[in-house]
Structure 1
């Protein structure tokens, strides 16, 4: 596997993929017609979404475009969210224009956390098959997949680093239903001793440079931990991504978490960090 270095060009490409996912989830929720959805383009790559109590309530891809246009669009989005008594969460890449962070803090944003973005160049020939059976979840296994991943998230590993936010079970179940509406989204199940041991997901985002594999939603049931389930889920998705034409795989983790440890052991490199800033309701 080739080593990686992240410059602004690569960061823009990754943030565009993340913005695309966030937009598609919001559009899928809006299409259901059961919840109000705020969805705003914020100039350049940026997009702002507020559903209310969702992990996709955020501003992403902001800070790479024209400062005046992005700032004006963000203020409009803030007003819309605050009129609904919501909070605005902004995830700012450290390869974006960080000079604008001071203005955000001056008008009420607080730094509440960070997340790391890791990447790997893909070459299918160098990807060994997983040692544990991993397969695509069938259409009739959607509920089983959600139950597996949510149960894994509800029982974090002892080495897990606490995130800056947490969601109740019903919100997690809902978001995994929502994300299934995104284009190029695939769900995977890991099997061990004839039983479901874990689940994970992959989204293929195509752009003018090729395709990016976005890895997310990986969790192992407590009874099956320390058995290589996460490694197997990772290997299976990387092989599928390479076969689908992806030249790059990315994953987002909490700094210092076991997820980051597993990813780096598998060959991922730390590319950059996103600062998480929140302006409260």
Structure 2
């Protein structure tokens, strides 16, 4: 009988690893929300069954419930209170729920009138210090946050149009503030330069053995030149140096960003369903 080959490089994600990643995501979103409070925003950060319900300002990508599914089912009264507080701020209640979370939560949310608005994929790989350098592109930690914010926001404003379209859009000024709030929350900013010109940017947060690779974007004029590959390589090398055992990135399904990271060895770990309930 012929025995099938076993790929020992496959990265398996069980509930324990997913819970670690979701905790790290929750910590980052909560810290960024608190950073928004530091600039005078009327924020919301309420613990919900191991996760948090956050609101930073109108039309912010930080306005969501994160981290549910690994510490029990939310209390219905508390969830109703969260929905009421979100509605009072003119916002829908948006829950990002891992496919490895307790299935009872999805059933609970749909029974309360939530609908699926979209999905996002979480990919991961083990970081190493021997990443390939991209000729002609220099990546370094940003010493000019304004230039970093400008290139990242510009990149986000011009999506590549590949894969599943996003279910939401955000105003440019809000994204600018969110990027600065993420940096204050512990994300390190990186810029990529082509011929001395800032061509792209990204960020990374190293905590509890997890490297969260966030905020990556390339200016439209410099796409298809390896900018994202160079940004990935530097951040992965820094993650290895920081002792992280896994690096994770979140992408839209079927996007150019997902293809880029998969070419660099990232594997799909799980998906988050985005469930939304309109304000009453």
Question: Under a length normalisation based on structure 2, what TM-score does the superposition of the two structures give?
Answer: 0.92
Write the distance in 2 (CA, Å) between the matches of 1:122 and 1:71.
40
Candidates 118, 124, 132, aligned match of 1:113: 118
2:91 maps to 1:86:
yes
Q: 1:43 aligns with which of 32, 40, 49?
A: 49
Match of 2:243 among 234, 242, 245: 245
Aligned to 2:26: 19
Measured in 2, the distance between the counterparts of 1:160 and 1:71 equals 35
Instruction: Quote the residue 1:133 is aligned against.
Output: 138
* Aligned pair partner of 1:101 in 100, 106, 109: 106
Counterpart Cα distance in 2 of 1:73 and 1:63: 15
1:53 is paired with a residue whose SS is coil
Distance 1:84 1:194, change over 3 A: closer
Report the secondary structure of 2:184's partner residue.
coil
Residues 204-248 of structure 1: per-residue CA shift (max 9 Å, x gap): 122xxxx11001111111111111111111111100111111111
RMSD of the alignment, in Å?
1.5
Compute the displacement of 1:71 (Å): 4.0
The secondary structure found in structure 2 opposite 1:245 is coil
Retained in 2: the 8 A contact 1:19–1:61?
yes
Assess if the C-alpha contact under 8 Å between 2:163 and 2:253 holds in 1.
Answer: no
Deviation at 1:130, TM superposition (A): 3.7
- 1:3 alignment partner, SS class: coil
Please say which of residues 94-103 and 246-255 is displaced more in the overlay.
94-103
2:169, 2:99 → 1: CA distance?
Answer: 23
Give the secondary-structure state (helix, strand or coil) at the position aligned to 1:180: helix
| Alignment of 1:195 onto 2:187 | no
User: Could you list the runs of 5+ residues in structure 1 that have no partner in the other structure?
Assistant: none
Aligned residues: 270
Flag structure 2 segments of 5+ consecutive residues without an equivalent: 1-7
Q: Within 5 A, what are the aligned runs for 1:151-170?
A: 151-159=154-162, 161-170=164-173
> 1:48-76 CA distances to partner (integer Å, 9 max, x unpaired)?
10122110101011121122x54443222
Query: Residue 229 of structure 1 is aligned with which of 227, 231, 243?
Result: 227
